[in-house]
Structure 1
Amino acid sequence: MKRSIAILITLVFMGGLFSGDFNKQIWRQLSGSAFVDNVSYPVLQRICDEAGGRLVGSKQNEKAMDILIEELKKLGLDAKRESFNMPGWVRGDDEIKLLEPTERTLRCAALGYVNQTPPFTAPLVNGHSGQKEILDSIDVHGKIVLIPPEKPKKGKQPLRSEVIRYAAANGAKAVLFVNNKIGGLMRAGTFSFQGEPAPIPGFSITYEEGQWLKRLLETGKMPRLKITTRSYCTPITTANIVATIPGKVKDKIVLGAHFDSWDFGQGGIDNGNGSAILLEVARLIHQIHPQNHFTLEFVWFNGEELGLWGSKKYMEKHGNEPIAAMVNMDMTGRPTGFNAMGFDDFLPFFETLAENLQGYNLTVGAISRSWTNSDHMPFMMQGIPTFTLTAHLDKDQGRFYHSFGDTFDKVRSDYLSQAAGVISIMVVELANRPQLPFQKLDKEAVTRMLKKFNLDEILKRQKEWSFE
């Protein structure tokens, strides 16, 4: 019966649409097993329910590592921890209390790398969009700055880290960022990609309470608040998880996904989805097609949410090794196509692959559009070809990004199966085509690519630009 179901699934998703020299039989086996034998959903349930939110350095993060290694070893994969040091951050019992014109404790979430400060009381002021020229023009000295979710009338929207620096330079005491999503949600995030402590506390607060504070200011009620910051920065030792399937050559393709998450919810979608799909792809290839030309290295990166620390540290350790390509899985949903991420020489390969996987309804086909702030970035910055899927997430899967609602109940097992099937097929094809243009780009070519997609500006603003 199980075999019959597998055959039916492969007929539906393969549709008989194969051409070229693709390995049709292997495709069918990978696709069928991704649905019938998939283990990623129950493993992700264990990680979400038994460990929970996985902020790097926390007990929950350590528990998740134990579960992942245990489950990978059950599959016959020799998984190991690869330790590294990084600037850590611990969330404390932070408090924001409205004292005037009435009393209330507000819901708040400190940004990563906000450091412990003595309690203080200060008046509130509207910082509008938080642009430098605005904060320079109003009196924020000794005050708490409220940043509503409004777009600038002109110019660019500043990053939260930029707003905090602008406010601190003008003598502000703290910054409150009002979430743009309704429903009592706060949005976690990091102040810095380099790990330095924020100069003043920065918090996310709910849309509803933020709008209330804004109305009080607009009606001249002059709110006063008391802030107690107990979160703190501290050096930590943590680890990535690495499992390797040796190939005929030492040149390797790295497949990666971060398994850490913010601590509010359970990290079901960000990045439970990606880390579970990576586990399933490892299972599929290990069990069905373990003999490949390239070595395949599966890496569950840690510390992504605080600044891509796991992938940065991986590249510090392994960057001089022969890495042919990197495939990233971050918040991966139902596949709609392939993204060559600016490495345009691979577009013909992905276009042909997409055409031959029409049963998966890959409506986007193949594109080449680079972006930042996920674990492919340290590889891309070194000129290593990086790829990912284009994918669809349901409304509720994306709505709770970095908030309490990112829980296991949002995860869809069919999306995990579809993504694992497509990625395993893609990886087997990549891993056995040494004739593909796996050449590493030089620094000048990387610079041109990043500028082509206007990524130099955001990288400079994040202090991540190292090319000029």
Structure 2
Amino acid sequence: MHDWIGETFTSDAGWDHLERLVDIGSRMAGTPGEREALEATRDALDDIGARDAHIDDFEIQGWVRGSSHLDTPDGDAECIALPRSPADTAAGRLVDCGDGLPEDFEDAELDGAIALVSASVPDHYDRFIHRREKYYRAVEAGAVGFVFRNHVPGCLAPTGSVGTDDTPLGPIPAVGVSREVGARLARRFAGDRVTLTVDCETPTAESGVVRADIGPDTDRAVYLTSHVDAHDIAEGAVDNGAGTATVLEVARALLARDDPLGRRVRVVCFGAEEVGLRGSKREADLVDADSVQAVVNCDGVGRGRTLQFYTHGFDALGQTVDAVADDFGHPVSRLPSQHPHSDHWPFVARGVPALLVSSDDGDRGRGWGHTRADTLDKLERRTLREGAILVTGVVAALADADHVDHRDPDAIAAALEREDHAEGMRVTGDWPF
């Protein structure tokens, strides 16, 4: 009855696909590498027996990295452009805005200045502050350039996109610098005039969404999702090759189970997540929310052995996670709060029950993510297999459930207000209510 568990713990399907993805090179949205990853994922789903595996294409704002420079009184400081930064040059005083908390921008004199902002969020602060919120708070305060300073040691400059749905290219040039370069800039050049230059190309491009089905052909479906794209500076192993590899392994395990699924599971692997959740926003607009039983989105799994589940206030999801964890005798971390920064979110905003599955490794930030150190050696085959077994149990339980209640979007909006997300989402143009 539980042979599928042993098969999953000895399966190489997910890990082999992970290696396939990281060996592509850049999987930046709209590039040939992303297209190769979409096609490889479609083919892998077809190979395990999923039905109607195909790619649905859509147009996006492309962005191709050129050269970047941050000229200081002591010469050029090493930096990389943030995707969807405009091609532009800006000059002004360098102003250190610390951790980039809302009050840091209120206290800084940023009119005509270059803002230097840390990627960190202090432990005492109640919520995570996304890079884009820091960027647009700097814009609102009058900054003409943005320097994003990593908080992880190792001479690793961070990447990560800017821009909004309405205006995909950001209004001011933006670069990332390593923790070490950022510390030197703050110590030696705060208050001095610096010049920031970003060179890039911004063609129209094409991304896509991979879809496939398993289980009975029911009207209502559980969505099992991930994103295949990754930033162009690294392999994108954790973010999010491991998520897509987990989805493939879970789909294989669901097909291997003796017990038939109660309803259809739709596997959806999105492109263009890293540039504003373009694939998942489109998907959420295309489907009838009532046709979705629940969403299980894998993004950031594999960083640690303990899976972390954001339940977004849906009690039934939390109960399902707890029941599966108890059944397997395996620890998990469960958070009831909202997390509006991955491909589950466009569904949650419409009141659809959704889980974000990531890892609890004790680090509040991205770790190696969004740097050139996001490489395969950071992951373990054992951890991917263990995670896939638990996620399989959760997806199967949700597929077998009679009904998982949706919530009124107004209740989601109220939760965002209570948890102090709303103001930042309005700043970034991400408030959907």
TM-score by length of 1: 0.81
Is it true that 1:446 corresponds to 2:412 in the alignment? yes
User: Which residues in structure 2 correspond to 1:31-180 (within 5 Å)?
Assistant: 31-49=5-23, 51-77=24-50, 78-98=52-72, 100=73, 102-103=74-75, 105-117=76-88, 119=89, 122-129=91-98, 140=110, 142-147=112-117, 160-165=131-136, 167-168=138-139, 172-180=143-151
Q: Distance in 1 between matches of 2:146 and 2:42?
A: 40
Decide whether the 8 Å contact of 1:94 with 1:108 is kept in 2: yes
Deviation at 1:250, TM superposition (A): 1.6
Partner of 2:349: 381
Cα displacement (A) at 1:31: 1.3
Match of 2:376 among 382, 390, 408: 408
TM alignment of 1:351-430, pairs within 5 A: 351-358=322-329, 361-362=330-331, 364=333, 368-389=336-357, 391-393=359-361, 399-430=367-398
What CA distance in whole angstroms lies between the structure 1 residues aligned with 2:391 and 2:49?
20
Whether 1:215 aligns to 2:187 is yes
Structure 1 spans left out of the alignment, 5+ residues: 1-24
Aligned partner letter, 2:394:
M
Amino acid in structure 1 at the alignment position of 2:42: I
Q: Distance in 1 between matches of 2:47 and 2:225?
A: 20
Contact residue 116 and residue 146 of structure 2 kept, 8 A: yes
1:266 aligns with 2:235: yes
Judge conservation of contact 2:226–2:269 (CA < 8 Å) in 1. Answer: yes
| Cα distance between partner residues in 1 of 2:130 and 2:357 | 27
Q: 1:115 to 1:64 in 2, by over 3 A?
A: same
Q: Displacement of 1:68 after TM fit?
A: 1.7
Query: In the alignment, does 2:177 pair up with 1:205?
Result: yes
Question: 1:167: Cα distance to partner?
Answer: 4.8
Deviations 1:409-438 (A, max 9, x none): 11211111001111112222221222xx42
1:132 and 1:284, CA in 2 relative to 1: closer, same or farther beyond 3 A? closer
Find the counterpart in structure 1 of residue 160 from structure 2.
189
SS of 1:253's equivalent in the other structure is strand
CA positional deviation for 1:354 = 2.1
Q: Is the 8 A contact 1:30 1:425 kept in 2?
A: no
2:270 matches 1:301: yes
Partner secondary structure for residue 315 of structure 1:
helix
- Of residues 423, 426, 432 in structure 2, which corresponds to 1:460? 426
Task: Pick which of 193-202 and 302-311 moved more.
Answer: 193-202
Q: 1:217 deviation in Å? A: 2.8
Kindly state the Cα deviation for residue 265 of structure 1 after the two structures are TM-superposed: 0.9
Query: CA 1:356 to 1:452, structure 2 compared with 1: closer, same or farther past 3 Å?
Result: farther
Instruction: Give the secondary-structure state (helix, strand or coil) at the position aligned to 1:126.
Output: strand
Matched, 1:30 2:4: yes
Report the AA paired with residue 183 of structure 2: Q
Deviates more, 1:160-169 or 1:453-462: 160-169
Letter in 2 for 1:261: A
Superposition CA RMSD, Å? 3.1
- Alignment gaps of 5+ in structure 2: none
Within 2, Cα distance between the matches of 1:401 and 1:36? 27
Q: Secondary structure at the match of 1:332?
A: coil
Shift of 1:389: 4.0
Counterpart code for 2:249:
E
**Structure-2 change in CA distance of 1:158 and 1:124 (3 Å):** farther
Structure of higher CA gyration radius: 1
Q: Does the 8 Å contact 1:273/1:416 carry over to 2?
A: yes
Counterpart Cα distance in 2 of 1:108 and 1:337: 32
Give the aligned residue type for 2:325. A
User: What whole-Å deviation, never above 9, does each CA across 1:120-173 have from its counterpart, x for those lacking one?
Assistant: 6x3542243467877677665554333356879999997644554455566644
1:55 is displaced (CA, Å) by 1.1
Distance 2:326 2:107 in 1: 56
> Which letter does structure 2 place at the counterpart of 1:326?
V
